[in-house]
Amino acid sequence: MASEGAVNTCLRLVARGNAVLAELKRLGKHVPVEFQWSDKKSREARLLLDLQHLRSPNELDARLHADEVRLSQLGGTLMLIYSH
């Protein structure tokens, strides 16, 4: 049978994981318009990342390097908007 300390540690770990997921869900409701897109084929959508890049990281690297000028422009625009 598991010791009381191990059970408490497991419960704390699960509670922290739930807190992290709740925070991610909350933050997901407040994504700035610049990071949202309706057309996934737009120039910006090709540079913004989601979890799909984990399946093919080489493809993502090729896309980013192919459009470095646009990536730099988009980064500059976001810096102007969100830097204080």
Q: What pTM, to 2 d.p., does this model score?
A: 0.41
Number of domains in the chain: 2
Same structural domain for residues 21 and 56?
no
Q: How many CB atoms lie within 10 A of CB 8?
A: 11
Range of the domain at 12: 1-30
pLDDT digits (tens, 9 = 90+) for 11-69: 999 999 999 999 988 988 887 777 776 665 666 666 566 666 667 778 777 877 777 77
Tell me if 78 sits within 8 A of 34, measured CB to CB.
yes
Judgement on whether residues 62 and 45 belong to the same structural domain of the protein: yes
CA 72 to chain centre: 19
Encode pLDDT of 5-23 as tens digits.
899 999 999 999 999 999 9
